[in-house]
Amino acid sequence: MTIRILLPRRTAATAAAVTASLVLLGACGSTGDSKGNTATGDGKAGKTGVVLPFLTSPFWQAYNGYVPAKAKELGVSTLPTVNSNSDAAQQITDINNLLNQGVKGLVVAPIDSAAIAAGLDQAERKGVPVVAVDVAPDRGKVAMIVRADNRAYGTLACKYMGDKVKTGKVVQIMGDLSSINGRDRSEAFRDCMKQNYPSIQVLEIPTEWKAERAAAGLNTILNANPDLKGVYMQAGGVFLAPTLQQLKAKGLLHPVGDPKHITVVSNDGIPQELDAIRRGDIDATVSQPADDYAKYGLYYIKAAMEGKTFEPGPTDHNSTIIQHPDGNLEDQLAAPLVTKENVDDPTLWGNSLGR
């Protein structure tokens, strides 16, 4: 059985706003990133624009920090990164502003899998290739999608939690279901539990990747279900702090190994999650590769600007390129499960950040 806790959803005509944004090509969009990243690279292939979904998560802060270093490493000339502040319509305006500045390539982390099509169409009309990072578009042409297998995230979390919990109630704190990432993780976790752990009841909290919605939803769940056995956070960068705060406030934050411990599995692999694993506050996380998202996003846009193409199959960097039904290719990067046993692995980006 799956029970979903619904919170009031923001009212916004996203499609209408996206359409309207196409008219506002000269409007003021987001400015450069909060770290003041400047253009890098040799400029031979033309400037590349890099569009971020938001900067309220340590994961995207880390990705943002990797962009200039990876651009320099690959010889890609980038404009200052642009932050769309979780606004799908603003992201389309940001893309159009960059196109009007004459960029020759775009690396975009879509906020909304459907709404991003308007920006992709504009780029295609101008002959500017786009690489999508983290989120695959529902429609529209891209040179490459760079992301990990998000269904695997949900399945890994399910199997780890299912083997620990066995029976009882668990909750998944879901991302935005307008994003393919939120849908993939939610569906995979739910399907895996139903198939492999029928004695576990799954509760759900839709959040739109909002920390405040996660906190409110988890508070409601814990009030009604003090016997909760597990929490699956689909984005530790957004949900880790409110989840631990709620568990602590309810007197339910017990370390791993304590009989009263609530099993917590996350996604992202940020340093804060790794520290939480070391403390015993949470059990595991799936390390989403922020460093490789930046590296291969820029790698593929450079290749696209040079006219290079790719085919489905294994790569030379421990991943596999798959082809979507619409013809778009996706490089599915490795995303390992991190537990107490491997949390100190120096190859995890969360351990090397800042070095």
Q: Are 18 and 118 in contact (CB under 8 A)?
A: yes
Does an H or E element contain 88, and which? Answer: helix 88-100
Tokens (6 digits) for 323: 């082809």
Q: In degrees rounded to 5, what are phi and psi of residue 142?
A: -135, 155
Q: pLDDT class for 1, splitting at 50, 70, 90?
A: low
Average pLDDT of the segment spanning 304-322: 96
Q: pLDDT class for 13, splitting at 50, 70, 90?
A: very low
Query: What pLDDT was estimated at residue 2?
Result: 60
Q: Report percent pLDDT > 70 for the chain.
A: 87
β pairing state of 320-323 and 313-314: antiparallel
Query: What pLDDT was estimated at residue 61?
Result: 95
* pLDDT per residue as tens digits for the range 245-254: 999 999 999 9
Average pLDDT of the segment spanning 235-254: 97
> Rounded to an integer, what distance in angstroms lies between the CA atom of residue 90 and that of residue 29?
7
> Rounded to an integer, what distance in angstroms lies between the CA atom of residue 323 and that of residue 315?
14
Q: pLDDT class for 193, splitting at 50, 70, 90?
A: very high
β pairing state of 105-108 and 130-133: parallel
Average pLDDT of the segment spanning 70-75: 97
Query: What pLDDT was estimated at residue 354?
Result: 53
The residue written with tokens 């982390």 in the block is 109
| Domains in the chain: ranges and CATH | 45-148+289-334 (3.40.50.2300), 150-287 (3.40.50.2300)
Tokens (6 digits) for 171: 């909750």
In three-state secondary structure terms, 44 is: coil
> Rounded to an integer, what distance in angstroms lies between the CA atom of residue 158 and that of residue 166?
11
- Lowest mean pLDDT segment, chosen from 33-42, 163-172, 175-184: 33-42
Query: What pLDDT was estimated at residue 352?
Result: 86
- Lowest mean pLDDT segment, chosen from 1-5, 284-288, 322-326: 1-5
Q: pLDDT class for 23, splitting at 50, 70, 90?
A: very low
pTM score, whole prediction: 0.82
Q: Report percent pLDDT > 90 for the chain.
A: 84
Nearest to 112 by CA among 34, 15, 185, 212: 15
Q: Pick the residue with more confidence: 349 or 17?
A: 349
β pairing state of 313-314 and 284-287: unpaired
CB atoms within 10 A of CB 30: 19
Q: pLDDT class for 45, splitting at 50, 70, 90?
A: low
The residue written with tokens 């253009």 in the block is 39
- Lowest mean pLDDT segment, chosen from 16-25, 40-49, 278-287: 16-25
Residue 280: exposed, middle, or buried by beta-carbon count in 10 A (0-12, 13-18, 19+)?
middle
Average pLDDT of the segment spanning 52-79: 96
Nearest to 351 by CA among 279, 273, 281, 296: 273
> Rounded to an integer, what distance in angstroms lies between the CA atom of residue 61 and that of residue 65?
6
Query: What pLDDT was estimated at residue 202?
Result: 98
Q: pLDDT class for 282, splitting at 50, 70, 90?
A: very high
Query: What pLDDT was estimated at residue 204?
Result: 98
Average pLDDT of the segment spanning 252-258: 97
Query: What pLDDT was estimated at residue 353?
Result: 75
Q: Are 287 and 349 in contact (CB under 8 A)?
A: yes
- 157-160 — which CB contacts under 8 Å span 24+ positions? 157/185, 157/189, 157/232, 157/265, 157/266, 157/267, 157/284, 157/286, 158/188, 158/189, 158/192, 158/193, 158/196, 158/197, 158/232, 159/192, 159/196, 160/265, 160/283, 160/284, 160/337, 160/339
